[in-house]
């Protein structure tokens, strides 16, 4: 393998410029660490040399199918090796990867495949029934079946392993001449309309991946456990970041707490990511079984503002919470609650409260502000609300084929997050709510996050969500949805009394409902589902 002298991606004759692309990370690690384990999945173990060869087979195979620069290739798969390999093989030949949320409805999947103009779909056979039901709607030329279980049904087309074995492992040049070429299109969940295709470029993916490595303190001995879906912001760019330093990927098909605990211990896991819900599930299993993290594990948390209670729970088990914040439109994390050693001496509760803040921009992102309606920076008083806006290398290029939506999102030259936050005197940002989630009760603005954080403090509460419910007198009032811990016996009055002792009277939930809380596949509470249920038949504000 010629690595040191490779100049295939050099722009013209410039000796001072090479387009940034995270694809070089794999080429470098295969050159530096050829015999090191790169990917582990059940009984499969691939070295970096084997990982690289499989990616070359995928890239050559797609090229033989006629996939060219600018084409789109979709994949529907859990966190298996083919999903990881697609993050390299597809863009290696200049195509764009469309990694699709596996928990979307068949209708949503059909829309994304067609809207993205995907020519080929790599399909894990677990999801064949959903795709089979919409096959007639799809403008797809080829399916490639990723088979994990022999009994599963297939779509027409080759099996993935057969596809690789019949392709050449010969090295291809990376087909990236412009670092602003589209490396991936990630579709939003579509909770307020049709999903939007968020376009990532190679430069942004490179920089965000490097940001993950720097902020996570990763090195060649790092072992990353895939508890975060790779389809979500391309795994927050850890798909590329872990590879950049020759780290180890532990692929995991689904969230399975016993299996996660086993793998952390067996493989020496050092890093993992997930939404607060993921950590709730894992911590509950560990507490019930008297377990603790066997060593230091950096637990990246994002997806929804985590309560200090959740942070404290993970850290009491020996995990180290790394709180990051971002959106699909920012390649995943854009900011981090950068830790100060001087805070180590604070009480556990105070440390958890500080870690619950969204913090400051990543090393590689730089630009984030909190502004009022006139785009003026709000004061650093920890009280005044404004909207978080960002710009820079890891903000999307725009929504695919959606100019009007892109223009709205980029109003004033910044990307508008829709998240309302305060800025503390030390410059750290803290989210108080989504614009659409703020409760306006009798003229008072109420943060649902503040109420949820209080409810999480109740020892018998597993999970909580708060929304605005209709009220004849005040227009709307807080309503709490609570999922108790297994075996706990809670009443509406228990929750209301608990909140009354800790919140201003107008912030206390007027109603409490018990049961499971609907969530997206990435662990975000689907508040729009709860709102629709409450507001059916009422005149309501548009959230």
Taking residues 195-224, report their average pLDDT: 96
Residues 272 and 297 in one domain: yes
pLDDT: which is higher, 11 or 306: 306
pLDDT digits (tens, 9 = 90+) for 28-47: 999 999 999 999 999 999 99
What distance in Å separates the CA atoms of residue 77 and residue 335, rounded to the nearest whole number? Answer: 28
Domain final residue, candidates 163, 179, 202: 202
**Where residue 536 falls among pLDDT bands split at 50, 70, 90?**
confident
Structure confidence at residue 154 (pLDDT): 87
Domain membership of residue 541 (yes or no) is no
Residues 480 and 392 in one domain: no
Structure confidence at residue 443 (pLDDT): 65
Structure confidence at residue 542 (pLDDT): 39
Residues 358 and 444 in one domain: no
CB 321 within 8 A of CB 393: no
Structure confidence at residue 195 (pLDDT): 86
Ranking 50-54, 208-212, 294-298, 431-435 by mean pLDDT, the lowest is: 431-435
Is residue 282 over pLDDT 90?
Answer: yes
Domain membership of residue 281 (yes or no) is yes
List 327's β-bridge partners, or say none.
332
Q: What percent of the chain has pLDDT over 90?
A: 73
Residues 402 and 452 in one domain: no
**Where residue 462 falls among pLDDT bands split at 50, 70, 90?**
very high
CB 285 within 8 A of CB 258: yes
**Burial zone of 156 (CB within 10 Å; 0-12 exposed, 13-18 middle, 19+ buried):** exposed
Residues 424 and 448 in one domain: no
pLDDT: which is higher, 365 or 25: 25
Domain membership of residue 398 (yes or no) is yes
Structure confidence at residue 492 (pLDDT): 94
Is residue 304 over pLDDT 80?
Answer: no
Taking residues 141-168, report their average pLDDT: 90
What distance in Å separates the CA atoms of residue 184 and residue 197, rounded to the nearest whole number? Answer: 9
Residues 455 and 367 in one domain: no
- Domain of 469 in residue numbering reads as 440-535
Give the count of domains, the chain: 3
Tell me 412's DSSP state. G
Domain membership of residue 296 (yes or no) is yes
Q: What is the mean pLDDT of the chain?
A: 91
CATH number at residue 455: 3.30.300.30
Is residue 246 over pLDDT 60?
Answer: yes
What distance in Å separates the CA atoms of residue 205 and residue 66, rounded to the nearest whole number? Answer: 25
User: Hey, what are 176's tokens?
Assistant: 């990236």
CATH number at residue 307: 3.40.50.12780
Ranking 71-75, 165-169, 520-524 by mean pLDDT, the lowest is: 520-524
Domain membership of residue 216 (yes or no) is no
């Amino acid at each position: 393998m010629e690595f040191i002298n490779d100049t295939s991606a050099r722009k013209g004759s410039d000796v001072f410029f090479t387009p940034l692309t995270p694809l070089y990370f794999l080429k470098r690690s295969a050159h530096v660490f050829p015999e090191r384990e790169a990917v582990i999945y059940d009984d499969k173990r691939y070295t970096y040399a084997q990982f690289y060869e499989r990616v070359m087979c995928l890239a050559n195979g797609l090229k033989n199918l006629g996939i060219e620069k600018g084409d789109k290739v979709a994949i529907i798969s859990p966190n298996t090796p083919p999903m990881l390999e697609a993050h390299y093989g597809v863009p290696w030949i200049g195509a764009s990867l469309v990694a699709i949320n596996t928990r979307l409805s068949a209708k949503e999947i059909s829309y994304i495949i067609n809207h993205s103009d995907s020519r080929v779909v790599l399909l894990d056979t677990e999801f064949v029934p959903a795709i089979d039901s919409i096959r007639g709607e799809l403008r797809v030329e080829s399916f490639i079946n990723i088979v994990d279980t022999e009994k599963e049904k297939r779509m027409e087309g080759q099996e993935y392993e057969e596809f690789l074995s019949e392709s050449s492992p010969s090295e291809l040049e990376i087909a990236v001449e412009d670092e602003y070429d589209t490396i991936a299109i990630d579709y939003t969940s579509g909770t307020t309309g049709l999903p939007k295709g968020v376009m990532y470029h190679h430069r942004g993916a490179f920089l965000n991946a490097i940001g993950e490595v720097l902020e996570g303190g990763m090195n060649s001995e790092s072992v990353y456990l895939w508890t975060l879906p790779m389809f979500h912001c391309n795994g927050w760019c850890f798909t590329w970041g872990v590879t950049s330093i020759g780290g180890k990927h532990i692929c995991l098909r689904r969230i399975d707490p016993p299996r996660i605990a086993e793998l952390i211990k067996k493989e020496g896991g050092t890093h993992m990511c997930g939404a607060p819900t993921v950590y709730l599930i894992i911590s509950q299993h560990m507490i019930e079984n008297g377990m603790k993290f066997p060593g230091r594990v950096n637990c990246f948390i994002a997806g929804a503002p985590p309560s200090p209670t959740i942070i404290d729970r993970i850290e009491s088990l020996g995990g180290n919470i790394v709180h990051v914040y971002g959106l699909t439109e920012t390649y995943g994390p854009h900011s981090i609650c950068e830790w100060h050693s001087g805070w180590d001496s604070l009480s556990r509760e105070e440390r958890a409260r500080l870690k619950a803040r969204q913090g400051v921009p990543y090393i590689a992102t730089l630009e984030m502000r909190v502004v009022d309606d006139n785009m003026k920076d709000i004061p650093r008083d920890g009280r005044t609300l404004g909207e978080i806006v960002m710009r820079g290398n890891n903000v999307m290029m725009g929504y695919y084929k959606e100019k009007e939506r892109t223009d709205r999102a980029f109003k004033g030259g910044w990307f508008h997050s829709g998240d309302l936050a305060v800025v503390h005197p030390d410059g750290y940002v803290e989210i108080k709510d989504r614009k659409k989630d703020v409760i306006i009760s009798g003229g008072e603005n109420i943060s649902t996050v503040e109420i949820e954080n209080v409810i999480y403090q109740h020892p018998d509460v597993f999970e909580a969500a708060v929304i605005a419910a209709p009220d004849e007198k005040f227009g709307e009032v807080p309503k709490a949805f609570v999922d108790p811990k297994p075996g706990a016996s809670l009443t509406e009055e228990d929750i209301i009394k608990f909140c009354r002792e800790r919140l201003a009277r107008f912030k206390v939930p007027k109603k409490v409902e018990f049961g499971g809380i609907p969530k997206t596949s990435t662990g975000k509470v689907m508040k729009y589902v709860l709102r629709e249920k409450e507001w059916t038949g009422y005149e309501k504000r548009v959230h």
